[in-house]
């Protein structure tokens, strides 16, 4: 049985949850979120309401499609809301987009930390884990993911978002 339910909508996007329930084998059931931006549908969008981050300096939004840990299939999408132009590039194995939430009450967050010309840095966290994602929107390329834990001094770096 297939169901579709609107879970979020604002002036920029609408998001539906699509579920397929397999009554013969519940473990074979699956669901995903599909975002509509400027009339274009993007399946398997990451995160939770509102499912995107705003880049006010560029009048754009950024969001990520592809399931976590899906063999490097994730894609970063940047949509310019003035002209509806979309740019996308691989996020590879990165976790970017997974912590997008509308509130920080859970201790989980993701936000645009810095915009310097075409360089965008997104910061995210969950519990004691912290991440920084570096992107160049001119090229466009996902430059790297850095991760660390607040109670450990070690930092890992995944160039291009690729796990070593």
Kindly list the domain boundaries of the chain, sorted by start residue.
39-159
Q: Distance (Å, rounded) from C-alpha 131 to C-alpha 141?
A: 18
Residue with tokens 């920080």: 104
Pairing mode, if any, of strands 40-43 and 108-116?
Answer: unpaired
Q: Per residue in 93-130, pLDDT tens?
A: 898 999 999 876 678 999 999 999 999 999 999 888 99
The pTM (predicted TM-score) of the whole model is: 0.89
Q: What is the pLDDT of residues 10-69, one digit of tens each?
A: 999 999 998 765 555 544 445 789 999 999 999 999 999 999 999 999 999 999 999 776
Integer Cα distance of 120 and 137 in angstroms: 7
């Amino acid at each position: 049985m297939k169901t579709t339910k609107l879970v979020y909508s604002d002036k920029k996007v609408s998001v539906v949850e699509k579920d397929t329930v397999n009554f013969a084998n519940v473990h074979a059931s699956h669901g995903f979120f599909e975002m509509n931006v400027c009339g274009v549908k993007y399946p398997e969008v990451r995160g939770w309401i509102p499912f995107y981050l705003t880049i006010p300096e560029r009048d754009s939004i950024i969001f990520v499609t592809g399931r976590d840990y899906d063999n490097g299939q994730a894609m970063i999408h940047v949509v310019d809301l003035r002209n509806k132009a979309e740019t996308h590039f691989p996020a590879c194995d990165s976790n970017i987009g997974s912590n997008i939430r509308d509130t920080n009450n859970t201790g989980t967050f993701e936000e645009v930390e810095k915009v310097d010309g075409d360089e965008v840095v997104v910061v995210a966290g969950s519990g004691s884990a912290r991440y920084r994602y570096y992107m160049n929107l001119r090229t466009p390329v996902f430059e790297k993911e850095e991760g660390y834990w607040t109670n450990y001094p070690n930092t890992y770096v995944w160039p291009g978002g690729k796990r070593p």
